[in-house]
Chains A and B, each alone.
Chain A
Amino acid sequence: MSRIAARLSARFSPGDARPLSAVPGWILGLLAAAFAAQVGWQFTHRAVAPSAADLPAAPSAQALRLASLGETASLARLAMLWLQAFDSRGDNAIAYRQLDYGRLVDWLGAILATDPLSNYPLFAAARVYAENADPRKARRMFDFIESEFARDPNRRWPSLAHAALLAKHRLHDLPLARRYAAAIQRLTTNPTIPGWAQQMEIFILEGMNELEAAKVMLGGLLATGRIRDPEERRFLQGRLAEIENRLNSPAKGENR
């Protein structure tokens, strides 16, 4: 490494190289023109985030594992970054609204099967994709979260808890919210899970508004020390602030 650095330094140091006047003028002109052409061309053909229609059919989990060459944890997370770029362009009025949720669920399922210990797919499912204003799409995502929760309740309960909250306050579907809350209560066995999560059915039935409920949930999650990732903490706090703003807006009555 030091030899390469020394060589580079020797090559590009003004004392060692020939003066600029030794370079023929046509080469300098060509270099400047080629640089300008490259920058100009790429500037006019800039890549944008892919649209909803660009989302391809999901591969199988086996295909993803094969493509990872043994690095399943890395591939699963990179695949999530790639997936969340679809239908997320800055000019979209509402991101992710146009996505084909059938394909999206297949992708999330395949990524989760590639690395079942990753929290990312279900976190994105609950906190991003399930918040779609289209109730059919939100329900599609809830079904996915519920089915995946059953495979590992002790690890995946936070996503279903958030789905219960959304079912109650966004879809106004109390039976669905109670079903999710009951599932958390029935299937989780880990003693470190907070009490409010295991008694979520009562919590759902209480007359709290969405902001109060979200505060209880987020406060509970933070208190257990489960959210150690600063990005996740920042994301959740941002969402809480969004709910607060929405409920403080003139149309807040609709969401209560």
Chain B
Amino acid sequence: MHAASRFSTFTVARYVLVEARRGGLPWLAAASALAALALSGFLSQVAITEGAALQAAASAALLRGCAVFLIAAHVVASVVREQNDKGLELALALPISRAVWYLGKLIGFACTGALIAALFALPLLIWAAPGDLVAWGLALAAETALVAAAALFFASALGQTVAAISAAAGLYLLARSISAIQAIASGPLTDDSLASDVARWLVDALALLLPRLDGVARGDWLLYGAPPAAELVQTLSGLCFYFVLLAAAGLFDISRRNL
């Protein structure tokens, strides 16, 4: 990609960030942070021990869920609205390619997710060690970037708000639970019949096509310490591979589409 394309990509990304700032997203994120802190504060009041730990763990889990939902809903709403308003056709009438437009959107949404992750990590400084919180925040930023990439892909390919949000949510939930599903499927009590073998094989094949989100940005990192740097890098590398795969799939889809 030459310098002019790079410039155009960042221009598109900048406008994505401007759109996010001018919409209701910052207020929604702030409201989510306040609601999560208030709910965890209430829970810690009724706990007879480990009040601070309860507040940190509950806040982290709630904020993680909020970050994922907010970024997915924002991306889908933005892309579908743009498709309905023929904004894509208008953008492509300018001297930018489809790939530049798509990558610009992706970078913009990933940065939006990173900003939400930073905003959500900030209040957790009250209870967590800064080093652990940095690891948690980084992992949350990577997770939101991946969810943004999935939401952009589905919104762009399906063009329907409900269908795209459902598909992104389905992928996310499957990615959070695939390790447990795989472990359950490999137990010694399962049947040795052909159907069971096929089911096990299908679960293993499905696992190859999914990221592992169950080990990312976990609330226990804030209580018992984040994983060692090497393990964290390995976890984030897995997400990085999947992010590139989603980006490539989205680029492929938009390149083949008749507008």
- In the assembled complex, the Cα of A42 lies from the Cα of B212 at a distance in Å of 9
User: Beyond A22-B256, A45-B238, is A88–B179 a contact (Cβ under 8 Å)?
Assistant: no
Beta-carbon contact of B158 and A4 below 8 Å: yes
- In the assembled complex, the Cα of A234 lies from the Cα of B195 at a distance in Å of 14
Chain B residue nearest to A56 (CB atoms) is B220
Beta-carbon contact of A11 and B191 below 8 Å: no
The one of B160, B191, B251 that contacts A27, using a Cβ cutoff of 8 Å: B251
- In the assembled complex, the Cα of A128 lies from the Cα of B160 at a distance in Å of 48
- In the assembled complex, the Cα of A66 lies from the Cα of B258 at a distance in Å of 49
Query: CB of B173 within 8 A of chain A?
Result: no
Give the contact stretch, choosing among A47-55, A98-106, A150-158, A164-172: A47-55
- In the assembled complex, the Cα of A205 lies from the Cα of B256 at a distance in Å of 78
Give the contact stretch, choosing among B16-24, B31-39, B67-75, B182-190: B182-190
- In the assembled complex, the Cα of A39 lies from the Cα of B238 at a distance in Å of 10
User: Beyond A30-B251, A45-B212, is A17–B180 a contact (Cβ under 8 Å)?
Assistant: no
Beta-carbon contact of A81 and B244 below 8 Å: no
Give how many B residues have a beta carbon under 8 Å from the other chain's beta carbons: 40
The one of B163, B187, B256, B257 that contacts A49, using a Cβ cutoff of 8 Å: B187
Beta-carbon contact of B184 and A31 below 8 Å: no
> Please, which residues of chain A bring their CB within 8 A of the CB of B184?
81-82, 84-85
- In the assembled complex, the Cα of A38 lies from the Cα of B242 at a distance in Å of 6
Beta-carbon contact of B258 and A47 below 8 Å: no
- In the assembled complex, the Cα of A34 lies from the Cα of B178 at a distance in Å of 20
Beta-carbon contact of B245 and A34 below 8 Å: yes
Query: CB of B223 within 8 A of chain A?
Result: no
Beta-carbon contact of A128 and B255 below 8 Å: no
Beta-carbon contact of B183 and A47 below 8 Å: yes
Query: CB of A95 within 8 A of chain B?
Result: yes
User: Beyond A11-B257, A18-B255, A43-B208, is A35–B245 a contact (Cβ under 8 Å)?
Assistant: yes
> Please, which residues of chain A bring their CB within 8 A of the CB of B42?
none
Beta-carbon contact of A47 and B251 below 8 Å: no
Beta-carbon contact of A7 and B209 below 8 Å: no
Closest Cβ of chain A: how far from B238's Cβ, in Å? Answer: 6
Query: CB of B201 within 8 A of chain A?
Result: no
> Please, which residues of chain B bring their CB within 8 A of the CB of A27?
99, 248, 251-252, 255
Beta-carbon contact of A24 and B187 below 8 Å: no
Beta-carbon contact of B182 and A47 below 8 Å: yes
- In the assembled complex, the Cα of A41 lies from the Cα of B159 at a distance in Å of 31
- In the assembled complex, the Cα of A4 lies from the Cα of B130 at a distance in Å of 46
Beta-carbon contact of A85 and B180 below 8 Å: yes
Closest Cβ of chain B: how far from A190's Cβ, in Å? Answer: 29
- In the assembled complex, the Cα of A234 lies from the Cα of B190 at a distance in Å of 11
- In the assembled complex, the Cα of A231 lies from the Cα of B158 at a distance in Å of 40
Beta-carbon contact of A38 and B245 below 8 Å: yes
Query: CB of A46 within 8 A of chain B?
Result: yes
Beta-carbon contact of B209 and A23 below 8 Å: no
- In the assembled complex, the Cα of A89 lies from the Cα of B212 at a distance in Å of 20
Name the residue among A8, A20, A35, A38 with the largest chain B CB count within 10 angstroms: A38
Closest Cβ of chain A: how far from B136's Cβ, in Å? Answer: 20
> Please, which residues of chain B bring their CB within 8 A of the CB of A28?
252
Chain B residue nearest to A82 (CB atoms) is B180
Beta-carbon contact of B189 and A18 below 8 Å: no
What are 9 A-B contacts with C-beta separation under 8 Å?
A16-B258, A17-B258, A27-B251, A34-B248, A37-B241, A41-B238, A85-B184, A88-B187, A90-B186
**With contacts A16-B258, A46-B182 known, what are 6 further pairs, Cβ within 8 A?**
A31-B245, A38-B245, A47-B182, A47-B212, A49-B187, A90-B186
| Chain A to chain B: the 5 pairs with minimum beta-carbon distance, closest first | A34-B245, A31-B248, A47-B179, A23-B255, A85-B183
Residues of A bordering B, CB below 8 Å: 3-4, 7-8, 11, 16-20, 22-24, 27-28, 30-31, 33-35, 37-39, 41-43, 45-50, 81-82, 84-85, 88-90, 92, 95, 128, 231, 234-235
